[in-house]
Amino acid sequence: MTQQRQSGNGVAIVMMIFLFAMISFVTNLAAPMGVIVKSQFLEGMANANFLGMLGNFANFLAYLFMGIPAGLLLQKFGGKKTALAAIAIGFIGVGIQFLSGIAGSFIVYLLGAFVCGFCVCMLNTVVNPMLNTLGGGGKKGGQLLQIGGTFNSLSGTLTPMLVGVLIGQVTRETSISDVNPLLFAAMGVFALTFIVLSIVKIPELHKNTETKTEKGKHSAWSFRHFVLGAIGIFIYVGVEVGIPGTLFFFLEGQVGAATAGFVAGTYWLMMLVGRFVGGAIGGKVSSKAMLTVASGVGALLVLTAMFSPQTSSISMPVFTGSAFANVQVPISALFLVLVGLCTSVMWGGIFNLAVEGLGRYTAAASGIFMMMVVGGGVLPLVQNFIADQTGSFMTSYWVPVIGLSYLFFYALVGSKNVNTDIDVK
C-alpha cells in the first residue's frame, strides 16, 4: 500500500511540474505580444506602451475574478477535474487569440488573453498546494515548489525568444498572425495534456466532499502572516512580469524585436538557473533566508540598472534569426536580466511562508493567493504608464524597487506566524 501511494505521488508530482511549465508558457505569451499589438492596433497612439500592456493586464485580471472560485472548485471537485477544466479553458483562450489575428480586433485579442488568465489561475490553484503537500510542507514542500518553478522558468525562457524570432523586425505589417505557429503549438499541447491527464491517476489531497455549512469564526484571513504574504504575492508577480516585459518594450525600439526577445528571455533563463540552485538547496536553507537575500540583492540590481549610464553598452549573445551572435545592448539590460536570479526563488518562498501553519485553511488560502496574482497585470501597467508619462523606461523601474523592498520586509518581519493559537485541524 505504501509503495502504491509513493508511486501515485510520483506521477502526481511529475504532472504538477509539467502543468507548472504550461502556466509559464501561457502567461509569458502576453507581454511580448504587446509589441505586436502596438504595431497592429495602436500605432501612433498616445500611451502606446500602457495600452500594449493591456493584454498582459487582461490575462492577470482573470485572477481577481477566479482566484477564490478556483479554490472552491479545488475543494469540491479535486485537483484532477479542476486541472482538466483549466486546460480546456486554456485551449479556448489561445484559440480566441488566434481568431483575433483573423478578425483584426484588439478587443477579441484582449478577450482571448482574459480567458487564458482563467486557465492559468485555475492551474496555479491546483499545482501549488498539491506540490507543497506532496512534499510534506516545510523545507521539502518548498523544495518541490522550487523544482516546479525550474520548469516554469524553462518555458518562460523560450516563450519571448520564440515570439521575437517569429516577428523579427517590427514593421507596419507585423500582426498576430506572425505568431500563429506558436498559438497552434500551444493548442496542441493543451489537447495532448488533457488526454494524458484524463488517463493518469492523481491522488486527491484537497478534495472535500463534506456538506458542512457552519462557518467558523476563523479563516485564512485570520492569519497575519498569510495576509501580508498575499500582498507579497501581488507585488512579487508584478515585479517578476514587469521587469522583463518592460525590458522587451525598452529594447525593441533600439535593437529590434528578435534581439529584445532573446534578452528578455535571458531573464527567464536566469530564473531557470536560480530555481535549479533553489531546488538543490531548498531542503537545507529556509524560505525566509532565501527570500531575504533574494529581495535585497534584487532591489540593488534594479537600482544599479536605473542609475547606470545609458550610453554604456555590453555585448550579449543572442539569436539573430539565423545564428547566435554577440549584440551590443545597454548595460542596464544586463543588470535587469540578472534580477531573474533573485525572483527565481520568491514564489515558492512567499507561498511556503504564507501557508505555513494554516492546516485546513490551506486550500481556501490558495484561492485567495491566486486572486492576488492580479498584481502581475496591475504593476506592469502602472510601470508602463510611468514610462509613457516620463518618457523614460528606467524611471518606471522605481515600481519594482519599492516592491522588492516590501518583500524584504515580509521575509524579515511579516512572515512570522503570530496566530498560533488558532485551531487549524
Alpha carbon distances (Å) from 253 to 33, 169, 198, 325, 399: 15, 10, 45, 19, 22
- Give the span between the Cα atoms of 207 and 188, in whole angstroms: 29
pLDDT at 209: 47
CA distance 315 to 327: 5
DSSP string, 306-319: HHS-TT-EEEEEEE
Grid cell locating 41: 492596433
Closest by CA to 267, choosing from 22, 31, 17, is 31
Query: Can you say how many angstroms the Cα of residue 273 is from the centroid of all Cα atoms in its chain?
Result: 16
Which segments of 177-317 does DSSP mark as H helices, in order? 180-199, 224-255, 257-281, 287-307
CA distance 22 to 18: 7
What confidence score (pLDDT) does residue 312 get? 85
Closest CA to 124 of 23, 198, 272: 23
Indicate the burial class of 219 (C-beta count within 10 angstroms; 0-12, 13-18, 19 or more).
middle
Position 161 scores a pLDDT of 67
- Is residue 236 a contact partner of residue 352, using CB atoms and an 8 Å limit? no
Q: Give the number of other CB atoms < 10 A from CB of residue 312.
A: 10
| Cell numbers linked to 358 | 494554516
Whether 237 contacts 350, CB under 8 Å: no
Q: Indicate the CATH number of 2-202+221-414 among 1.20.1250.20, 1.10.3720.10, 3.30.70.260, 1.20.120.420.
A: 1.20.1250.20
Q: What integer pLDDT is reported at residue 272 of this predicted model?
A: 80
What pLDDT is recorded for position 195? 87
Cβ 124 vs Cβ 67: under 8 Å: no
User: Which three cell numbers mark 387?
Assistant: 514610462
Q: Which of 246, 267, 261 is nearest to 344 (CA)?
A: 267
- Residues 355-364 have pLDDT tens digits of 888 877 777 7
Quick one: cell of 147?
A: 523544482
Through-space distance between the first and last CA atoms of the chain, rounded to whole angstroms: 25
What is the β-pairing status of strands 313-319 and 324-330? antiparallel
Cell numbers for 17, please give them: 511540474
H helices within 104-171, ranges in order? 106-134, 138-167
C-beta separation of 175 from 36 below 8 A: yes
Split the chain (425 residues) into runs of 10 and give each run's mean pLDDT. 50 75 77 66 64 82 83 80 89 88 81 89 79 64 70 72 61 67 82 82 59 60 89 94 88 76 82 80 82 95 92 74 72 92 88 84 76 89 90 93 96 86 74
- Say if residue 144 is exposed, middle or buried (CB neighbours under 10 Å; 0-12, 13-18, 19+): buried
Q: Residue 163: count other Cβ atoms within 10 Å of its Cβ.
A: 27
Q: What amino acid occupies position 249?
A: F
Contact (Cβ atoms closer than 8 angstroms) between residue 70 and residue 367: yes
Name residues whose C-beta falls within 8 Å of residue 11's C-beta, 6 or more positions apart in sequence.
Answer: 200, 201, 202
**Which residues, 6 or more positions from 247, have their beta carbon under 8 angstroms from its beta carbon?**
260, 263, 264, 267, 333, 336, 337
Residue 224 CB neighbour total at 10 angstroms:
14
